[in-house]
């Protein structure tokens, strides 16, 4: 792999130990994937923030890097943490967990990273343009950036994204290259998805069927950005997809002549929904996976105005969006119905199981996947309306 003289200096430790260690990661990755060079990135999004997912070893790694003077060179945001930094007591997050979480966030802050903890940075100002090279690691953000924005990123791991932030570059392979941005799996839709659970189930079904291949949808006539966010997140979690196209909707459309083809209709969606949850009464309803936009919070508030929820509700979002929702009065309406808007965190990376929850509801395809596997929850997969008291 060819390096510029500055990159070579980083690799040889002339620009400090943190840069050397980070360049070593990027160099090794580039060699594994056959990259010819490194390319500058305009932004980075780092996963591996909740101490539930990174544990003590992750905290030690971050503290070590911080003690070596690591500083990021480009705009860098974090993925959700294990708690809302301001409301963790109100959420009943255990104190020991909170202390460790604060230590993780302090380590990241010392590197000059923006303390916005969100899996949807494109909703709060970090919105790369078509063709822009970035290094993001949250899988739902990666598929959104590649597919809906036309930006270019591989599915980075937490350490490789952090290394890209410290060095300002990433290996040039995979999704950064035109030749890999071609669909080799196509889906003909027999019916239009409408609700959040429709989009989540469609993403889950196609994710499993495509096994992570770049996928092109025919017949998706209209979809809002929020619906595409939910579809992509489900594809990425049930099938590890990093890129999809929707004819007439996404900024890119390239389909291989030899692409595999399937049809998906209402029967497949209904059957998939049945696999994604059980018809139980939940302890907690969780929305905002990926993090909710202001419009979504507004719609939730409109649905809940003057109503009562059958159990607790969290609407997960970025702090900046929560502040706007507070100002617009949406948070107060949701609280009156028995819910709360929580920032910096989400249902999957907070310690739900330690907090006594056993049955959690969601309308998100991605959350439905991980609430069961990572949070030991019985999953109830349904729309919010199903949990409003009659
Ligand atoms: Fe985001 Fe958490 Fe879902 S990180 S995509 S809200 S699992």
Which atom of ligand 1 has the smallest separation from the CA of 288?
A: 6
From 161, 178, 195, give the residue that closes a domain: 178
325/194 Cα distance (integer angstroms): 24
pTM of the model: 0.97
Q: What is the pLDDT of residues 317-374, one digit of tens each?
A: 999 999 999 999 999 999 999 999 999 999 999 999 999 999 999 999 999 999 999 9
Q: What is the pLDDT of residues 278-305, one digit of tens each?
A: 999 999 999 999 999 999 999 999 999 9
For residue 216, give both structure tokens: 């092109």
124/141 Cα distance (integer angstroms): 12
Per the structure, the count of domains in the chain is 3
Do 160 and 187 reside in the same domain of the chain? no
Do 15 and 50 reside in the same domain of the chain? yes
Closest residue by Cα to atom 6, ligand 1, is 289
346/109 Cα distance (integer angstroms): 20
From 273, 300, 320, give the residue that closes a domain: 273
Instruction: Report the b/e string of 3-31 with b at 16+ CB within 10 A.
Output: beeebeebbeeebeebbbbbbebbbebbe
Do 217 and 105 reside in the same domain of the chain? no
Alpha carbon distances (Å) from 132 to 7, 135, 157, 287, 316: 21, 10, 19, 30, 28
List beta partners, residue 217.
187, 246
126/108 Cα distance (integer angstroms): 18
Do 76 and 197 reside in the same domain of the chain? no
Give the list of residues 6+ apart from residue 67 with CB closer than 8 angstroms, or none: none
Do 191 and 229 reside in the same domain of the chain? yes
From 273, 299, 332, give the residue that closes a domain: 273
pLDDT for residue 390 is more than 80: no
Residue 24: per-residue pLDDT: 98
Mutation pick for ligand 1 pocket among 287, 346, 351 (CB with most ligand atoms within 8 Å): 346
Question: Quick one: angle between helices 266-276 and 196-210, nearest 10?
Answer: 90
Do 215 and 173 reside in the same domain of the chain? no
pLDDT band at 94 (very low <50, low <70, confident <90, very high): very high
Do 258 and 333 reside in the same domain of the chain? no
- Residue 341 Cβ inside 6 Å of ligand 1? The answer reads no
Do 173 and 115 reside in the same domain of the chain? yes
Q: What is the pLDDT of residues 54-80, one digit of tens each?
A: 999 999 999 999 999 999 999 999 999
Tell me the pLDDT of the chain averaged across its residues: 97
Q: From the CA of 363, how far away is ligand 1's center (Å)? A: 12
Which atom of ligand 1 has the smallest separation from the CA of 370?
A: 7
What's the CATH number where 108 sits? Answer: 3.30.499.10
Chain position carrying tokens 């900024």: 251
Which among 290, 324, 1, 246 has a CA at the least distance from the CA of 119? 290
Do 144 and 241 reside in the same domain of the chain? no
What is the phi-psi region of residue 125: left when phi exceeds 0, alpha when psi lies from -120 to 50, beta otherwise? left
Do 142 and 36 reside in the same domain of the chain? yes
Q: What is the pLDDT of residues 27-55, one digit of tens each?
A: 999 999 999 999 999 999 999 999 999 99
Do 55 and 174 reside in the same domain of the chain? yes
What is the domain range of residue 382?
277-387
Do 188 and 202 reside in the same domain of the chain? yes
């Amino acid at each position: 792999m060819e390096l510029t003289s500055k990159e070579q200096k980083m690799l040889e430790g002339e620009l400090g130990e943190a840069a050397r260690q980070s360049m070593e990661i990027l160099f090794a990755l580039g060699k594994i994937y056959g990259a010819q060079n490194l390319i500058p990135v305009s932004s980075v999004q780092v996963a591996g923030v909740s101490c539930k997912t990174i544990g003590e070893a992750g905290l030690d790694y971050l503290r070590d890097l911080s003690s070596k003077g690591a500083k990021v060179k480009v705009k860098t945001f974090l993925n959700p943490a294990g708690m809302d930094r301001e409301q963790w007591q109100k959420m009943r997050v255990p104190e020991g967990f909170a202390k460790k979480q604060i230590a993780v966030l302090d380590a990241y802050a010392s590197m000059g990273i923006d303390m916005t903890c969100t899996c949807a940075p494109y909703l709060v100002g970090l919105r790369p343009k078509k063709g822009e090279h970035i290094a993001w690691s949250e899988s739902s953000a990666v598929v959104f950036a590649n597919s809906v924005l036309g930006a270019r990123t591989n599915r980075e791991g937490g350490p490789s994204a952090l290394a890209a932030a410290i060095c300002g570059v990433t290996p040039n392979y995979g999704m950064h290259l035109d030749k890999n941005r071609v669909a080799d799996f196509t889906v003909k839709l027999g019916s239009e998805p409408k609700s959040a659970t429709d989009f989540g189930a469609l993403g889950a079904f196609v994710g499993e069927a495509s096994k992570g291949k770049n996928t092109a949808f025919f017949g998706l006539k209209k979809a809002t950005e929020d619906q595409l966010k939910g579809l992509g997140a489900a594809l990425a979690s049930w099938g590890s997809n990093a890129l999809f196209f929707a004819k007439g909707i996404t900024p890119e459309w390239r389909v291989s002549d030899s692409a595999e083809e399937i049809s998906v209709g209402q029967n497949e969606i209904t059957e998939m929904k049945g696999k994604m949850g059980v018809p139980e009464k939940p302890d907690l309803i969780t929305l905002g996976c990926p993090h909710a936009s202001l419009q979504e919070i507004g719609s939730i508030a409109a649905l809940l105005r003057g109503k009562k929820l059958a159990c607790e509700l969290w609407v997960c979002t970025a702090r900046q969006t929560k502040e706007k929702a507070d100002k617009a009065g949406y948070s107060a309406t949701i609280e009156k119905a028995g819910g709360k808007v929580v920032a910096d965190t989400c249902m999957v990376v907070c310690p739900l199981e330690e907090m006594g929850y056993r049955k959690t509801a969601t309308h998100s395809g991605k959350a439905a996947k991980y609430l069961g596997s990572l949070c030991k929850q019985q999953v109830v997969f349904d729309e919010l309306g199903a949990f409003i008291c009659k």
